[in-house]
Amino acid sequence: MKAVVYNGPKDVSVNTIDDPKIEKQTDVIIRLTTTNICGSDLHMYEGRTSFEKGRVFGHENLGEVIEVGAAVDRIKKGDRVCMPFNVGCGFCENCERGLTGFCLTTNPGTAGAAYGFAEMGPWQGGQAELMRVPYADFNCLKLPEDAEEKEDDYVMLSDIFPTGWHGVELSGFLPGESIAIYGAGPVGLMAAHSAEIRSASQIFVVDSHDDRLKLAEAMGAIPIDMRKGDPAQQILDATGGLGTDRGVEAVGYQCCDRHGKERSNYTMNCLVKSTKATGGIGVVGVFIPEDPNAPDDLQKEGKMAFDFGNFWFKGQKIGTGQCNVKHYNRRLMKLIEQDRANPAQIISHRLPLDQAPDAYKHFDERDAGWTKVVLKPGT
């Protein structure tokens, strides 16, 4: 089969590799029809992780079941399914509590597993014609009748829609409250979409890219252009000096090297500043524990200069971590089915698998107009 393979920093290619096989009777094999490129893929793509050469990318996957292990009961050949990026077992202590992002079986001893990811288990990604899904009865979300028609909406259930929703949830958000979202990438835009669906009174979205800020505005958010000055101050000025009830971090530690002068603590400290006293902050942007490639010594150790003094003094709360996609995906699927949510609105490109190397380049450079790329194997 054809698959998008990592060769080294900023170097991916579409190679022919062996087809995946049923390895345990709880597995299924999926023929992918839509598989997305995600901001999280860029941590590997840019060479900041221990991702091995030859590994297949892709954790945002949707397709048709073509082969079913003998112990798979609920999922049938021909079903159209979307997989959470987390690989869960369904029976460990964490999965039982709904914390599938922290499964103790699929990546023992560390924080959870994902397809096509560094440090998150051996699972191959789905930017390919075929993929193997373990514990398939647990990990496959069976899609409704309109699966084909709304495929580009449903594929967002694999990661960014639940992750944006999770960011809002981690902040402790309640309907009617105001919220500021840092980062207008796909995750930040999905947080804005979630806040809008959940009846936020005011939504601010911070970024420095016109095309992304325009999308945020089209979703009902107030765009904050960080090129025009301190974004936290802009939010304070727009809220009578009080700030917002809630805040979401949807950037992660990447902002340090991408924006030169800023460090990965930049968005966190902006959030402390622009969130009200007693407010809440949800952090879904990825911060990686130890990073030998980071630009300064603190970050090499996975640490940052966090403004804990103001955070404590303002009595704020914080929530962090991987999204437990399975906790949300069935309910968010209903919102799509009932036309209450349309996450596909942020897609900028629908491309065949062969064009993945070029798409990675443009998306990584944040080239204008490259907001969210979905790959269509088989086209």
Q: Site residues (CB under 6 A) for ligand NAD?
A: 38-40, 159, 163, 182-188, 206-209, 212, 226, 250-252, 254-255, 258-259, 262, 266-267, 284-286, 322-323, 366
Residue 325 tokens read as 């996609």
Residue 53 CB, nearest distance to ligand NAD (Å)? 21
- Beta-sheet pairing, 317-320 with 275-283: parallel
Vertex 288 angle, CA 315 and 325, to 5°: 80
Q: Which residues bind Zn ion (CB under 5 A)?
A: 38, 40, 60, 159
Smallest distance from ligand NAD to CB 269, Å: 10
Q: Which is closer to ligand NAD, CB of 69 or CB of 167?
A: 167
Query: What letters, b where the CB count within 10 A reaches 16 and e where it falls short, cover 219-247?
Result: bebbbbebeeeebbebbbebbeeebbbbb
Token pair for residue 273?
A: 């500043």
Least Cβ distance, residue 112 to ligand NAD (angstroms): 9
CA 87 to chain centre: 14
Contact 311, 249 (CB under 8 A): no
Q: How many residues does the chain have?
A: 379
Q: Which is nearer to Zn ion, 314 or 349 (CB)?
A: 349
Nearer to ligand NAD, 362 or 376 (CB): 362
Among residues 207 and 245, whose Cβ is nearest to ligand NAD? 207
Partner interacting with residue 185 (select from Zn ion, ligand NAD, none; CB below 5-8 Å by kind): ligand NAD
Q: Which does 129 bind (CB under 5 to 8 A by kind): ligand NAD, Zn ion, none?
A: none
3-class DSSP state of 235: helix
- Cα 350 → chain centroid: 18
Q: Which is nearer to ligand NAD, 258 or 303 (CB)?
A: 258
What's the closest the beta carbon of residue 162 comes to ligand NAD, in angstroms?
A: 8
Min CB(174)–ligand NAD separation in Å? 21
